[in-house]
Homo-oligomer: A and B are copies of this chain.
Amino acid sequence: MEFGQIRRSEQLPARIAAQIARDITEGRIRPGEKLPTEHFLAKALGVSRSVVREAIAQLRNEGLVETRQGVGAFVTEPHARPIRIEQDDLANRQSFRDLFQLRVPLEIEAAGLAALHHTPDDLQRIDEALASMSGAEKWTAEGIVADLAFHRAVAAATGNEYFAVFIGFIAERISLAINAARAAAVLEEIVEVTIKEHVVLRDAIASRDPRRAREAMKMHLLGAARRLDLTLESY
């Protein structure tokens, strides 16, 4: 039983912002159109105007609307939005598999780059993460942190800032989804295999042979997919 994972209910501004955002992204309010006034929204939604303002501030920050004092809030033309993946998004198996599948080529490439570019500091960080993982007796929060740290250390060793950002982002969400879906005891047998594969990967990176590192990462991820009962294409 894992405490500290209880979700707090969302606050009013966030809920209202999400609802308006949905209306926008689903085309019910189109670019150039004006949102109802703050006063109207407050009345219609049964909240204070402050809450509406905070929601609109969020939408403005996301670039979904722009406000003109004295006139109103207008929906902007669609443009690039950040990538977000909430824990709820990965509750269904298909989405989880999709993200895992995305992870594979990224981390294989990262392994190859890490073999080419790692520094002694990078290797030390990889080793520290490995050591933390060996110490974890079970697939507990510590083990998850160590597994994440290992993958992040590999990504950082690529010397490419965006591999570090994207892999850190993806690996964390996958780990959290696994943790949310599994009882700790079930994962215990997986840890030993994972550590072995991590060691092989570490050694491959240290050998500065990118082909070997890529192969080791591929084996590790395909093994992880199998252990998670995920079917991925192979060719």
Contact = CB atoms under 8 A, between A and B. Distances in A.
Contacts of A161: 95, 98
Interface stretch (A35-43, A101-109, A131-139, A220-228): A101-109
A102 B160 contact: yes
Interface in A165-180: 165-166, 168-169, 172-173, 176
Interface residues of A, number: 53
Contacts of A160: 98, 101-102
A210 B169 CA distance: 28
A169 B76 CA distance: 13
Interface in A99-158: 99, 101-102, 104-106, 108-109, 112-113, 116, 152
14 contacts: A14-B57, A50-B53, A57-B57, A58-B58, A61-B62, A80-B173, A82-B83, A83-B83, A83-B166, A98-B162, A102-B106, A104-B109, A105-B108, A106-B106
